[in-house]
Structure 1
Amino acid sequence: MAVEQVTADGPALTISARTTTSEARCPTCGTVSRHRHGRYRRRLDDVTLTGRRTVIDLAVQRFRCAADGCPRRTFTEQTDGLTERFARRTPRLRHVFERLMQMLAGRPDARLTKHLAIPVSPDTLLQLLRRRPEQPRTRAPRVLGVDDFATRKGHVYATILLDMETGERVDVLPDRTADTLAAWLREHPGAELVCRDRGGAYAEAVRTAAQDAVQVADRFHVWKNLCEAVEKCVVLHRACLPEPTSDNEPDQATSVPPEATASAAVPAEWEGVRVAKRRERHAAVHELLAKGVEICAIADALGLDRKTVRRYACAATPEDMAPAGGGRRGSRVDPFLPYLHERWNQGCTDAARLFGEIRERGYSGSQRTVRRHLESVRASGKPAPKVTRQLSVRRATHLITSHPDRLDGSSTFRLKKLLARSPELEAVAACVESFAKMMAELDGRRLPDWHDQAEATGFPSLKAWSTASAKTSTR
C-alpha cells in the first residue's frame, strides 16, 4: 500500500491510501490474474489513534479471472490483515469487539465503545460474536471451569464450560445434569483440574468420567458458602443485634446512611410462637426418623413438604432451622422510625407532613408506606413506642464478612460495637479474617489449623462448612 494523505477532521482521522499490487489470486479457482478491471474505494473503520476515530479510505483494484470455466468474472483483491470480503472494519477492530463481547454484555459493551471513539450498536456487536467461526475441540482444556446459568430462572438451567487459563468459552450444555457433563468429559478427555461450584451433580460427573482430574472449588463459591455459614451463626445470636442507645452515637434521624437497614423489633410473643413451633416440628421429625420412617411418610403424617422435612432431618438442633431473615422483612421507612415516633409524640400526626420531613433526610420510599405505618400507631390510641435500633441479620453478616478497607467509619464503629456485645460473633469474625488472609496469600497449609479454629467456635454451621472445606481444594 501507499499512503496518499492523512486528514484530521474534528474527532475523526482519515487515512487515504491505495494498493500497489500488480496481481491477485482468484478466490474461487485460485488462478493468479494480472488483468486489472478497475478500481474503487473502500472505507474501513480501524482502531483509534490519538483518541480519535480512525477511518482508512482505501483504493483497491478489481481483476479479471483469466481461467476458462471459472464462474467468477471479476474479483476484488484483499489485503492481509487489513481487508475482508464485504467488511467495513479491519480485522484488528473486529478482534477488539469480539474480545469486549466476551468480557461484557451487549449494552455495556456498546456504552464502552462510545468512550473509545468507536461507537457501535449492541445488535452489531452480537452479530459479530455470532459470526465468529467455531473452533472444534477434541480435548478439554487443562483447567476446566464448570458452572450453571439460568435460561429461564427457576425453570430451565444450562451448563457453561470455560477454559480457566484463557477465560474463553469452551462449550454450552443444554442442562445441568451429571449424565450430560459426564458424556462431554468422555468425548473430550484431558482435563487435569476441574473448577466448579459445590453442587453434587457436577462432582459426580467428574468422579465418573474424569477420575484423574482434581476437583477444586472456585473462590466465589467458597466465599459465598462461608458467608452463608456466618449468616446462620448470626441468626443464633440475633438477640445481640439491637444497638443500645448512647449519646455518643450519631443521631440516625438526622443523618441516615443509604445502607441503613435497622428494622423494628419483632414482637416477643410472635417470636416465641415461631420458636416453639420449630422445636416441636424438629422433635417430631427426628422421633419418626429414629423409628425408621421414610421422608415421604413423615411429610404425609405431619402435613409438610418433603423438602421441609429433609431440612429438619439435616438440622442437628432446632436452632439450625432458624430463619435467615431473623424477623420480618425490612422496610425503607424502618431507619426513620425513631424520628417519626418522636415527632408523633410531640404532636405532629400529619402523615403528609412527616413524609416530607423524612424525605428531606434521605427517605426514598412512598408516602403510602409512611401512612400505613402511622395508621397502626393511631389505631392503638397510645403514644408511639420507642423503637430499638438494631442491625438486620443480613447487614450484620455483611459487616463481618466485608474487607475492613471497604467499610466506612460508621460501619466499622457498628461492627466493633456488635463484636463487643457478642464474644461468640467475635470468634466467628476472627475465623473469617484468618480464612480471608489464607485465601489472599494462597496458603493452603494453614487449612488444618483454621479447621480447628472454626470447630472451637462451637457453631454447627461453621463446623460443618469447615469440614467440607478441608476435604476440598481451593483455587
Structure 2
Amino acid sequence: CPRKVFAERLPTVVMDFARSTVRLNSTFTALAFALGGEAGQRLAEKLGFAISADTLLRRIRQSSPQPKETVRVLGLDDFAFRKRHTYGTILIDLERRQPIDLLPDRESKTVGDWLKAHPEVEIVSRDRAMQYVEGITLGAPTATQVADRWHLSKNVVDVLKEFLNQHHSAFHQARQAIINGQNKPVDGVKFASDRRTRAKEQTRQKRSEIYNQVQALHKEGCHQNEIIRRLGISTPYARRLLHAETFPERSAFPPRRTSVDRYADYLRQRWAEGCQNATQLWQEIKEQGFNGAMGAVTRYIRLRMRDPHQIKQQYMHRARLPAIKMVLPSARHATWLCLKKQEELSTEEEQFVSELMKSSTEIKQAVLLTKQFRELVKTRDIDSFQGWLVEAENLGSKWKNFVKGLRKDAGAVKAALTMQWSNGQTEGQVNRLKFLKRQMYGRAKFDLLKARVMYRG
C-alpha cells in the first residue's frame, strides 16, 4: 500500500491535525455563539478553559453554515448598521419562525436578486417601504405581498400627528378655554420670576426666532436644504418647523411632588379667602405639622400660579390660583391623548381633549378617522376599507396623500386585512439582531453578525 499511517484516525473524538477534541471544540463554539469573544473568554476562564477572544470568533467563522430550506412565507425588514446612514435586510421564514438570511443593504435590486434565487416564495410580508415593494415586484412578481398591520396603524397615527402639528393654534384655544373657565386671575399680586424661568423664556425666544426665519425663507422660495444650510439646523427640526402652522411649543413635564402637596387644599382655600402672604400661609401649615422651610411654600405658590408663555414683562407676571397649571402638550403627546380611551385619561387630559375637539371640527373628524382605521385594521374589516378611503381623502392634503399611498399599495393592504401573516415575528428577530450587534459593541463584520443571527444551536 503506498499510503502509510502512523496514527489511527478517530474522527468522532478528534479531527485531523486538531489541537482539541471534537467535544471541546463544540463547547467553545457554543460559548462563542452565545456570548461572543470577550464575554466568552471571561466565562471560559471561570470554567477552567484557556482560550482567547479571537479564537472564539474564529470558531464562529469556522462553524458549518445552517442547512438551506425552502421558504414559502417570507418576512423581511430593515435594520441599521449605523442609524440614518447604512442599513441591511433580515429575511425570516414566518412558518418556521427562523431567520434564513441577512442582506448587506436594503436596495431593491439586492432583494430582487435574492427572490429570483428562491422562486418557491409564495407570500411576502413587509412594511410599506418603496424599495421593498420594488424589489419584491422585480424578484417575485407572482408572490402575494402583505403589508404589515402594525405599520399601517403607525402610518395613520403619523398622519394625525402631522395634521395636529399644522393646527397648533387649536391647542392654544383649548388651553385658553380651560383657563378662562377655571383659572381666574387675582389682581394686584406679582411674583419675581427666577433665573431658571428666565432662561427657559430666553431659549423659547430663540426657538421662536428660528421658526420665524424658517417661515420667512420658505416664503422667499428657499428649498429645505438651503434653509438648513443657512440656519445650521437639523433636517428633522427644519421639516417640523416648515410643516407647523404656528410656533410649536415644547411639551413640559408635570410639576414634581413636594412636601407641600398634602396641604394644597388648605392653601387653595386660604388663597381664595384672600390670604396671599406666603409667610402667613407657611406659619399656618407649620402649626398643622409641616416641617419644611418657608421657601418651599413660596416656591410652591409661585410655580402653581405661573403660566410662563403669557408673561408680559421680563421679570414680573400676574399670579393665578394654584389649582390650575395648564401645560400645552406637543403634537405627538396630543395625538396619543386623542387616541386614548376616555377612562385612561386624567381629568385635565380629558378636559383638554374635549376642548380641542370643540375648537376644530377638522381635528375632531381626523381623530375619528384615525380611530376607525386602527379599528378596521385590528378587526380586519375589509368591507369598511373603501368607504374609509372616500371619507378620508376629503379632509386635506396630508390625508389625501395617505389615501393615495394606500390605493397604490391596495393589493398588499387588502391582503393584510384578509390573511393571517404579519411582520410581528420579523420585528422580534430584528430586536434579537440588535441585541447581538450591541453585545459585539457594533464593531463586528457583517459575516460574524450574520453567523450569530442565523445560529440555531
TM-score by length of 2: 0.53
Match of 1:159 among 86, 89, 92: 89
CA distance in 2, matches of 1:320, 1:73: 69
Partner residue of 2:400? Answer: 463
CA distance in 1, matches of 2:74, 2:298: 52
Q: Larger strand proportion, structure 1 or 2?
A: 1
Q: Does residue 137 of the first structure (1) align with residue 74 of the second (2)?
A: no
* Aligned partner of residue 383 in structure 1, secondary structure: strand
Partner residue of 1:25? Answer: none
Partner residue of 1:382? Answer: 316
CA distance in 2, matches of 1:451, 1:213: 25
Q: Is the 8 A contact 2:168 2:245 kept in 1?
A: no
Q: Does residue 332 of the first structure (1) align with residue 253 of the second (2)?
A: yes
CA distance in 2, matches of 1:73, 1:87: 13
* Aligned partner of residue 175 in structure 1, secondary structure: coil
Match of 2:383 among 421, 434, 445: 445
Match of 1:202 among 132, 136, 150: 132
* Aligned partner of residue 190 in structure 1, secondary structure: coil
Percent identity of paired positions between Structure 1 and Structure 2: 23
How many aligned positions are there? Answer: 319
The 10-residue stretch of structure 1 (228-237 or 191-200) with the greater mean CA deviation from structure 2: 191-200
CA distance in 2, matches of 1:382, 1:420: 33
* Shift of residue 165, structure 1, vs aligned partner: 3.2
CA distance in 2, matches of 1:422, 1:304: 33
Partner residue of 2:191? Answer: none
Q: Is the 8 A contact 2:156 2:373 kept in 1?
A: no
CA distance in 2, matches of 1:435, 1:215: 20
Q: Is the 8 A contact 2:72 2:120 kept in 1?
A: yes
* Shift of residue 271, structure 1, vs aligned partner: 8.8
| Cα shift readout 1:399-421 (whole Å, capped 9, x = no counterpart) | 22345675566644543343233
Which aligned pairs between 1:27-176 and structure 2 lie closer than 5 A? 70-72=8-10, 134-137=65-68, 139=70, 141-176=71-106
* Shift of residue 269, structure 1, vs aligned partner: 8.8
Q: Larger helix proportion, structure 1 or 2?
A: 2
Q: Pick closer, same or farther for the CA change 1:408–1:137 going to 2, 3 Å.
A: farther
Amino acid at match of 1:427: Q
* Shift of residue 151, structure 1, vs aligned partner: 2.6
Amino acid at match of 2:330: S
* Shift of residue 74, structure 1, vs aligned partner: 10
TM-score by length of 1: 0.52
* Aligned partner of residue 237 in structure 1, secondary structure: coil
Match of 1:321 among 221, 235, 242: 242
* Shift of residue 219, structure 1, vs aligned partner: 1.7
Which aligned pairs between 1:242-261 and structure 2 lie closer than 5 A? 242-243=174-175, 244-245=178-179, 246-247=181-182
Amino acid at match of 2:314: S
* Shift of residue 197, structure 1, vs aligned partner: 2.0
* Shift of residue 211, structure 1, vs aligned partner: 1.6
| Cα shift readout 1:419-473 (whole Å, capped 9, x = no counterpart) | 23322211011101211221122122322100111123x2211221122113322
Q: Does residue 392 of the first structure (1) align with residue 323 of the second (2)?
A: no
Tell me, which stretches of 5 or more residues in structure 1 are unaligned? 1-67, 76-83, 107-122, 249-263, 289-294, 313-318, 362-368
Which aligned pairs between 1:161-310 and structure 2 lie closer than 5 A? 161-241=91-171, 242-243=174-175, 244-245=178-179, 246-247=181-182, 277-285=213-221, 299=226
* Shift of residue 328, structure 1, vs aligned partner: 4.2
| Cα shift readout 1:86-116 (whole Å, capped 9, x = no counterpart) | 7999xxxx9xxx9xx9xxx99xxxxxxxxxx
* Aligned partner of residue 137 in structure 1, secondary structure: coil
Which aligned pairs between 1:388-427 and structure 2 lie closer than 5 A? 388-402=326-340, 407=345, 411-427=349-365
CA distance in 2, matches of 1:157, 1:236: 31
Between Structure 1 and Structure 2, whose CA radius of gyration is higher? 1
Amino acid at match of 1:382: M
Q: Is the 8 A contact 2:116 2:140 kept in 1?
A: yes
